[in-house]
Amino acid sequence: MASLSRNSDRDAVVDFVETPFFRDYKDIMYRKSNSTKNWRLLLDIFRPTVLLCIGVALVVYTSLYLLLQLGPRERREERTCVYISNVSCYIYGALFSQGGKHLPFSASGRFLVASWWIFSIVMSATYSAKLIANLAVPRVDKPFSSTRELLENTDYKWGVVGKSSTYSLLSISKDSDIQELWKKMVIFNKTDPSVFSRSITDHIEKVLTEPYAYVMGHDKLGNGTDCKVTFLREKLFEYSKGMALPQDSPLKEDFDKVMIHLSETGFLNRLAKKWIISDGQCLVGKSAATVVTLEDMHSAFYLLLAGFGASCCILIFEWLYRMMQSYRFEKQKKDFAISSQCNPLLCY
């Protein structure tokens, strides 16, 4: 009894017990990528096309709202002066669930504002939910998501335990993707013989230290390695592990009966879950929680700095404009004083 996979070559020289103690499929294992930290987190919640559409809607609704404020019904009411800045701030504030002081008097204006409010509520709720999800579960970029993508990835190599049953199945497979996997393994072997190493430890070490993928089943690895690797979850081919006896062994019939009974009662499944199958879950402390780091909030601070910079620029512009107005006013005042003086030769 060992980790002995059943295939046609082995069936020719030994008698396998008909009921295997483990069934699985061959998969591709690779090292987990680190979660990506992006300073553009606040902008990457929506795609650029969505942000563009929101910007266009903001401009259009600001223009429509301004036109409605200049309509006959609105002009008959006693209201403050209508400025583009006030209207823009009102529409922009509604996008962030902030209200304004004045509502339109006309029915058309109120319908326009109501539709913008509904749009703003939906967009702000969607943005908030996506932002919370991205902070709670950081996005992890996978180097590949299918066998075809692995074949097209020039940075990765892959291998298998040499002279194993998986080695044999890969070499005789008729599947086009698996055939290409095998051909590239043979090419890799010319410069790196370790891709066909007979030591599982060598392959695990390469997975953890290099851009390397390893063709294997979902066996437990131990020593915390299960938390450092992941699987492609793409079935290359199925296989089973069972007990082998010498050919024509008188014990085979008894073993068949016992193994069928253990399989029916679920005992073999419980053993496999405990000792063989990797559950893919990493045990962490109960108090562990997702911590928001400064790197996660880079975009918020960049936005704060951008707002501060824009405010300073506008302040300087307003100061210069005020200085120009004051200079112009003083000049006009002086010119008026000069022009109002009477010429003593012409005055009586």
Q: Any idea which of 119-128, 129-138, 260-269 has the lowest mean pLDDT?
A: 129-138
247 sits in the region (left: phi over 0; alpha: psi -120 to 50; else beta) called: beta
**Alpha helix (H) residue ranges in the chain:** 8-11, 48-69, 72-76, 84-95, 107-136, 147-152, 165-172, 176-191, 200-209, 252-264, 267-275, 298-340
Report pLDDT for 345.
52
DSSP secondary structure letter of residue 100: -
* Whether residue 286 has pLDDT greater than 50: no
Rounded Cα distance between 201 and 195, Å, is: 12
* Whether residue 78 has pLDDT greater than 70: no
Report pLDDT for 265.
92
Between 212 and 282, the higher pLDDT residue: 212
**Would strands 229-231 and 14-16 be described as parallel, antiparallel, or unpaired?**
unpaired
Token pair recorded at residue 173: 């497979």
Report pLDDT for 330.
80
Report pLDDT for 135.
76
Buried/exposed code over 321-338 (b: 16+ C-beta within 10 A; e: otherwise): eeeeeeeeeeeeeeeeee
Q: Of all residues in the chain, what percent carry a pLDDT higher than 90? A: 23
Mean pLDDT over 179-202 rounds to 92
Residue 40 C-beta-side C-alpha neighbours within 13 Å: 5
Report pLDDT for 81.
52
- Global confidence as pTM: 0.60
Q: Any idea which of 105-119, 151-165, 191-205, 206-220 has the lowest mean pLDDT?
A: 105-119
Rounded Cα distance between 227 and 239, Å, is: 24
User: CA angle, corner 199, sides to 194 and 203, nearest 5?
Assistant: 55
Please, which pLDDT band fits residue 30 given cuts at 50, 70 and 90? very high
Mean pLDDT over 317-343 rounds to 77
Between 41 and 57, the higher pLDDT residue: 57
Closest to 45 (Cα-Cα) out of 100, 126, 114, 115: 126
* Whether residue 342 has pLDDT greater than 60: no
